[in-house]
Amino acid sequence: MSEKIKIGISIGDVNGIGLEIIIKTLADSQIYNYCTPVVYGHTKVASFYRRLTGTNELNFNVIDDPSNAQHKRANMINCWEEDVKIEPGVLNKEIGKYSFLSLERATNDLLNGHIAALVTAPIHKDNIQSEQFNFPGHTEYLQARDGAAESLMFLVSDTLRVGVVTGHIPIAKVAESITTDKIVSKLKLMNASLRDDFWIRKPKIAVLGLNPHASDNGLIGNEEQNIIIPAIEEARAVDVLAFGPYAADGFFANGTYLQFDAVLAMYHDQGLIPFKQIAFESGVNFTAGLKFVRTSPDHGTAFDIAGKNVASEISFREALFTAIHIVKHRLEGAELAENPLAFTKLTRDRD
């Protein structure tokens, strides 16, 4: 625990805001009191964005392996050799391969234990597609690399935590993809993460309905009665404190979410729209349920503002610190499990 935690950072889309927010974050020297950052990209691309952001005082220490990282520096691993034509804000099919090269190298080091966690800058989910990357997004790719049967897209902030049952799928397929088993599985993952990663001893989880007004007792659909309520009951039978189903609109509008430690939404936009409305700048996307720690900012490539030096680094910085906190919680939890306090039965003295 005394050694600085090494955090890997993948740069995302070269033409997006990824390197801009990475550089703005690492320009704060206080970061190095908490972790040793290792960025996976290329120094020439980084130099372009250092000039663009006016942070020329940030110099990357170029290394070929995380073991060579300097603890008081921003470290960079070059993941390709050729020059890249940088066009901020431009969607370029050829550029996607550099997103993948960064992500692949960082993930390899993560799986091999060379870095303690991974923070991913935003990719463009279309132009990164290739024979090597055939996934809807980071979450699915990292779950496959981990070999996990299930994972949870978990959006977290100081005031709200939201997970989703279904992720990056068409809205037309949401209802048919929701099952009692799937909801129970997500609730178990969320409950375990709240305990182990966020140290909440007895988490209270709210479950949203699928239909408007949570179906009004079956008047508007039957998924609540046939699928969601049985899932809540099954989860509670295994000591997961799940409640609901709640109608999503009123649940967020009247602040009911503040009474719970986390919320399980049925689909992507049901959970992410209110989350981003409430906690857009400070929100973090965390992939729960994996053996390793991965976080990211809760926004995309933002091509509309790329190259204008106006992108906020707040969410990325929060993602970095969230990764640090979760790694520490897991390390401390493992240490406590290995060295539990001896149990001594108290006895009352008798006269």
Reported as a pLDDT band with limits 50, 70 and 90, residue 351 is very low
- B/e letters for 255-288, b = 16+ CB within 10 Å, e = fewer, are eebeebbbbbbbbbebbbebbbebbeebbbbbbb
Work out the average pLDDT over 326-337: 89
Work out the average pLDDT over 121-141: 94
C-alpha 306/C-alpha 187 separation (Å) is 37
Say if residue 289 is exposed, middle or buried (CB neighbours under 10 Å; 0-12, 13-18, 19+): buried
Q: What is the pLDDT of residues 73-113, one digit of tens each?
A: 999 999 999 999 999 999 998 899 999 999 999 999 999 99
In 3D space, the residue among 215, 270, 262 whose CA is nearest the CA of residue 235 turns out to be 262
pLDDT of residue 2: 47
Q: What is the pLDDT of residues 257-298, one digit of tens each?
A: 999 999 999 999 999 999 999 998 889 999 999 999 999 999
Domain ranges of the chain: 1-148+290-338, 151-282
Q: What is the pLDDT of residues 199-235, one digit of tens each?
A: 999 999 999 999 999 888 888 989 999 999 999 999 9
Work out the average pLDDT over 142-156: 96
pLDDT of residue 335: 80
Percent of the chain with pLDDT over 90: 88
Work out the average pLDDT over 117-127: 96
In 3D space, the residue among 146, 182, 149 whose CA is nearest the CA of residue 164 turns out to be 182
Q: Alpha-carbon dihedral of residues 13, 18, 19, 22, nearest 10 degrees? A: -150
DSSP state of 282: T
Say if residue 314 is exposed, middle or buried (CB neighbours under 10 Å; 0-12, 13-18, 19+): middle
| pLDDT over 70 (residue 339) | no
| pLDDT over 50 (residue 8) | yes
pLDDT of residue 1: 43
pLDDT of residue 43: 95
pLDDT of residue 218: 86
Q: Decide if 1-148+290-338 and 151-282 have a common fold.
A: yes
C-alpha 10/C-alpha 105 separation (Å) is 9
What topology is assigned to 1-148+290-338 in CATH?
Isopropylmalate Dehydrogenase (3.40.718)
Do residues 103 and 138 make contact, with C-beta atoms less than 8 angstroms apart? yes
263: β partners: 162, 206
| pLDDT over 70 (residue 345) | no
pLDDT of residue 110: 98
Q: How many CB atoms lie within 10 A of CB 330?
A: 17
C-alpha 136/C-alpha 307 separation (Å) is 26
pLDDT of residue 344: 52
Work out the average pLDDT over 303-318: 96
Do residues 270 and 249 make contact, with C-beta atoms less than 8 angstroms apart? no
pLDDT of residue 281: 82
CATH number of the 151-282 domain: 3.40.718.10
Look up residue 330 and give its two tokens. Answer: 């897991």
Q: What is the pLDDT of residues 13-59, one digit of tens each?
A: 999 999 999 999 999 999 999 999 999 999 999 999 999 999 988 99
Query: What average pLDDT does the chain have?
Result: 93
Report pTM.
0.91
Percent of the chain with pLDDT over 70: 95
pLDDT of residue 340: 63
